Amino acid sequence: MSTATAFLSRREMLFGRACAETQPASTDLSYRASAVVARMAGVAAPARVSSRIPDCQVVSHRDERFRFISDLVADRRVMMGFIYTHCEGICPTTTKHMFEAYKILKERSTEPFVMLSITIDPERDTPDALLRYAVRNGVANIDDWHFITASKADTTNLLRAIRQNNAEGGDDLAQNGHTGVLIFGNDSRDRWGGIGAGSEPIHIANTFERTARTRSLRHFAGFGTTAEEQ
């Protein structure tokens, strides 16, 4: 290391020092990135991503009825996972990692967001079954977390729209073909993303924060030195 930079460590040189938390996360829910880009480019704003997802009727493990888009997604930050309650494959990991990520996210920020665990086996996973599953996973009392079920047709359409149906063809709800992907969205900003549910919870939390903007981007300015690691 050259003497010219002796007062900075190599890590700091490369990745920057931790930035002070001066800027709060954006709470401007009227901001819509795709619309802003369209305005800057001088064209009409495109339809939101969520407009391509069916606004179907769903029921939660608390027996609450929702419209999927209008009540749970519109103008919200949302994390979606896909499970069925008797799954012995990826689903337990999905739910466990969502919970771990949820705890990290709640510790870091007060920005509201919605957690959705959507069953791909709506015939077997009644609201009661989902409640038992949520209790078993210790998350039944988290107000922002809904374990939801819908009719088989609605579930199929929903999974098709967000590409979480059986990618290998055949039965859309086939349990051996379902994905273990978490979907992140910020409908206000029209920003969507995802990550494999098998990723470490810290990465699930980080990626959700960056995609859904529950915190300021500047937490991600430093590679390995800022709050991204904490």
Partner 1 sequence: MRKQTSQTKKDLSRRGFIKQGGMGAILTAGVAPYLTLKPRAYGAPPPTPFAFTPFTIPVPFSPRAVPANITPANPNQPPGDANPVYHGIAPEYALNHVSRAGKNDWVSADRENPNYNWNLTQNENDANAALPRFKELRHHHVMQPTRVQILPGVQTPMYSYNGVVLGPTIRSRSGEPMVVRNTNNLGDVETSIHLHGAHTPSHSDGHPCFYVFPGKSRDYYYPNIVPRKKDGKLDWITESPSTMWYHDHGNDVTAHNVQHGLLGFCINTDHLEEKLMRDGVLPDCDLRDPVTKQLIKSPNGATIASPYDLPLALCDMRLNADGTIFWDHFDHDGYLGDIICVNGAPQPVLQVEPRKYRLRLSACTLARHWVVRLSNGQPFLQLANDTWLLPQAINQTEIYMNPAKRADVIVDFSRLAGQEIFLENIMQQTGGRKPDGINRRAPMRVMKFVVNKPLDTRYKECTVAAGTPLRPHENILESEATVTRYFDFNRSNGAWQVNSEFYSAFRPDAAIISGATEKWVLRNGSGGWWHPIHIHVEAFQVIRYNGVVPKETWKYKSDNISLEGGTTAELLMKFRTFDGPFVFHCHNNNHEDMRMMKNMEICRNVRQGTTIVNGRRVAAPVAVPTLNNRWFSVPEPIVGIPHSYIQSHPALFS
Give me 147's structure tokens: 């374990």
Q: How far is the CB of 8 from partner 1 (least distance, A)?
A: 6
Q: Is 92 in the site for partner 1 (CB under 8 A)?
A: no
Q: How far is the CB of 203 from partner 1 (least distance, A)?
A: 6
Residue 86 has φ and ψ, to the nearest 5°, of -100, 15
- Choosing from 118, 129, 195, 212, the residue that interacts with partner 1 (CB under 8 A) is 195
Q: Which is nearer to partner 1, 82 or 147 (CB)?
A: 82
Q: Is 183 in the site for partner 1 (CB under 8 A)?
A: yes
Q: Which stretch binds partner 1 (CB under 8 A): 65-73, 118-126, 132-140, 167-175?
A: 167-175
C-alpha dihedral over 113, 87, 172, 152, to 10 degrees?
-70
Q: Is 141 in the site for partner 1 (CB under 8 A)?
A: no
Give me 46's structure tokens: 């495109």
Burial profile 84-119: b = 16 or more Cβ within 10 angstroms, e = fewer: bbebeebbebbbebbbebbebbeebbebebbbbbbb
User: Which DSSP letter does residue 141 get?
Assistant: T
Q: Is 99 in the site for partner 1 (CB under 8 A)?
A: no
- Choosing from 172, 205, 214, 227, the residue that interacts with partner 1 (CB under 8 A) is 172
- Choosing from 60, 95, 119, 211, the residue that interacts with partner 1 (CB under 8 A) is 211
Q: Which stretch binds partner 1 (CB under 8 A): 113-121, 123-131, 139-147, 170-178?
A: 170-178
- Choosing from 85, 119, 137, 166, the residue that interacts with partner 1 (CB under 8 A) is 166
3-state secondary structure 15-70: HCCCCCCCCCCCCCCCCCHHHHHHHHHCCCCCCCHHHHCCCCEEEECCCCEEEHHH
Q: Is 24 in the site for partner 1 (CB under 8 A)?
A: no
Q: Which is nearer to partner 1, 2 or 141 (CB)?
A: 2
Residue 58, amino acid: V
Q: Which is nearer to partner 1, 99 or 192 (CB)?
A: 192
- Choosing from 85, 137, 149, 165, the residue that interacts with partner 1 (CB under 8 A) is 165
> How is the beta sheet containing 57-60 ordered, strand by strand?
65-67, 57-60, 145-149, 114-119, 77-83, 181-186, 191-196
Q: Which of 113, 204, 116 is nearest to 158 (CA)?
A: 116
Q: Is 119 in the site for partner 1 (CB under 8 A)?
A: no
- Choosing from 29, 37, 135, 153, the residue that interacts with partner 1 (CB under 8 A) is 37
